[in-house]
Structure 1
Amino acid sequence: MSTLLSDGGAVLTRQLQKARHAPALLVLTQTMPITMLLFFGYVFGSALAMPGAEYREFLVPGLLAATAAGGLMTGMFTAAQDAHRGVTDRFRTLPMSRAAVPLGQTAADLLTTAAGTVPLMLVGLAMGWRVESGWAGALGAFGVLLLFRFAMAWVGTYLGLISASEEAAGQLGSATFVLPLLSSAYLPTAGMPSWLRAVAEWNPISAVATAVRELCGNAGAEAAAGAAWPAAHPVAGSVAWSLALLLVFVPLATRRFARGRG
């Protein structure tokens, strides 16, 4: 365990230094949610049944959940870039734990996400979003978001390691943009057609978004009648989704890293 942590820490430091010297992707991924918050909050909000302020209170947790889900894209891109540029092969020749490299990569993503979430929250506060449940609720919501981001980063790491090329990983990562649209991140599920509502309520992003709303005491935290289990129990559902993804993709990514691309 000590070897894993020390080796993972070395990879973590390498990833943070890499991000510092190439900040373009980091800036893009952190500014996009703010742009979407301003656009959805002030453009779409006026066209919805919810009043503008109430919709922005609904929207901010949804965008936080969508940002957490972005670990799928960044994990995929990072792993594919290292794998197809020979960095992963060089790591594999070193006397280090096989889980250290994916652990360091996902931990670095988690730290940058934690820091990058702060500007989004500040803009949300300026637009009228409030945490009505106090510090305990805010910390619980932040924990749910980080756990889900960590799980999605492991999913992305595995997909990046099995990708056919760096370009293919980038294209697939860009396609994941649609996932929050098929959830309750931006709109309540109550008005959706029955088949689409079922898809949205079983989408892990919906559970996380609703859990953040519930923990923060925001609008839209109440599940509609007949909602699927993750939507009816969002906190438990989001934790269950995250743990299930970790149980599946941590060993898959570790074994794939150890085996290589052959």
Structure 2
Amino acid sequence: MIIPQTAGQRLRWTATDAWVLTVRTLTHWKRQPGMIVAGLIFPIVSVVLFGYVFGSAMAVPGGGDYREFLLPGMFGQTMVFGIATTMTAVLNDKSKGVSNRFRAMPMSRSGVVVGRSLADILNSTLELIVLIGCGLVVGWQWRGGFGDVLVAVVLLLWLRFAVVWLGIYIGLVLPSPEAGGLVWGLLFPVTMLASTFVAPTLMPGWLGAIAEWNPLSATVGAARYLFGNPGLTGDSWAAQHPVLLAVLWPAVLIAIFLPLSVRRYRRISG
């Protein structure tokens, strides 16, 4: 095989291999639809549990229906769980020797991790569509225009794309799938310590400040604003500029973990 020499050749090489890896991952999911269903069970159960069981006792700052407050939070939480989903897939490839086979092939090192991220974002789009449909069934609705709804969906997927790179990096660093269980455990407090289920203004002062600056809170707040849902309160800079932060936080995560993931993969591929 002729190794690409110019920047254009290397870019085409990376893009081609990334697409091949994307199709490979999507084919696996197509043959194992239970994986997708399992990923949707938790958010659907949470919507029913919090929306109907606890919803009557939950307060929304400024008034409004709690289910309309809750659903954007569930959309955001599901996107963040992409960390563990991607991490698990990367760890499984390592443990089964798939990564070793990739190393033995004339493949672009960047294309392998880029392909994983592209497959995940396509799967995430499907997840988000299903969750929005479930939200409409339980009484949630958006009150903004179609353009605002589209921007909200893009921001949710933008967050998912960012945390996918964090998941890839963690999967490349951890030694075994068993070690990944710790990450699943940490995701719950991280996603709870945000505006997912409760407005930060109802939390103790120091805890509310942490929750307001959580990247998840920024995306959830932006989604609530764009969907026209209740719960947008707070005097802090973070609470007043959720859309801007929903753009910046994922950009920072991508800027950090995309090059780290590519570098880590290249290092273990030596």
Tell me the TM-score normalized by structure 1: 0.94
Deviation at 1:50, TM superposition (A): 3.8
Q: Aligned match of 2:187 in 161, 176, 180?
A: 176
Please tell me the residue identity of whatever aligns with 1:187. Answer: V
Q: Aligned match of 1:237 in 209, 231, 245?
A: 245
Q: Where in structure 2 are the equivalents of 1:213-224 lying within 5 Å?
A: 213-220=224-231, 222-224=232-234
> Is the partner of 1:190 in helix, strand or coil?
helix
What is the percentage of aligned positions where both structures have the same residue? 39
Contact kept in structure 2, 1:73 and 1:173, CA below 8 Å:
yes
Deviation at 1:53, TM superposition (A): 6.6
Question: After TM superposition, which residue ranges in structure 1, 4 or more long, deviate above 6 angstroms?
Answer: none
Q: Where in structure 2 are the equivalents of 1:202-217 lying within 5 Å?
A: 202-217=213-228
Q: Aligned match of 1:21 in 5, 27, 31?
A: 31
Contact kept in structure 1, 2:60 and 2:199, CA below 8 Å:
no
Please tell me the residue identity of whatever aligns with 1:82. Answer: D
Q: 1:80: which partner in 2?
A: 91
- Choose 1 or 2 for highest CA Rg: 2
Q: 1:10: which partner in 2?
A: 20
Contact kept in structure 1, 2:47 and 2:71, CA below 8 Å:
yes
Cα deviations by residue, 1:214-261 (Å, 9 ceiling, x for unpaired): 1111111x2312x2x333211110110100000000000001111118
Alpha-carbon RMSD across the aligned residues, in angstroms, is 1.7
Aligned counterparts of 1:17 and 1:187: Cα–Cα separation in 2: 38
> Is the partner of 1:254 in helix, strand or coil?
helix
Question: Which of 42-51 and 9-18 deviates more?
Answer: 42-51
> Is the partner of 2:65 in helix, strand or coil?
helix
Please tell me the residue identity of whatever aligns with 2:46. Answer: M
Contact kept in structure 1, 2:72 and 2:223, CA below 8 Å:
yes
Contact kept in structure 2, 1:161 and 1:257, CA below 8 Å:
yes
**Alpha carbons of 1:86 and 1:131: their partners in 2 closer, same or farther (altered >3 Å)?**
same
Q: 1:143: which partner in 2?
A: 154
Cα deviations by residue, 1:133-176 (Å, 9 ceiling, x for unpaired): 11101100010011110110110110011002111113323431
Q: Aligned match of 1:91 in 93, 102, 110?
A: 102
Cα deviations by residue, 1:179-211 (Å, 9 ceiling, x for unpaired): 211000111111111111111111111001001
Unpaired segments ≥5 residues, structure 2: 1-10
Aligned residue pairs: how many? 259
Q: 2:261: which partner in 1?
A: 253
**Alpha carbons of 1:191 and 1:115: their partners in 2 closer, same or farther (altered >3 Å)?**
same
Q: 1:41: which partner in 2?
A: 51
Contact kept in structure 2, 1:162 and 1:261, CA below 8 Å:
no
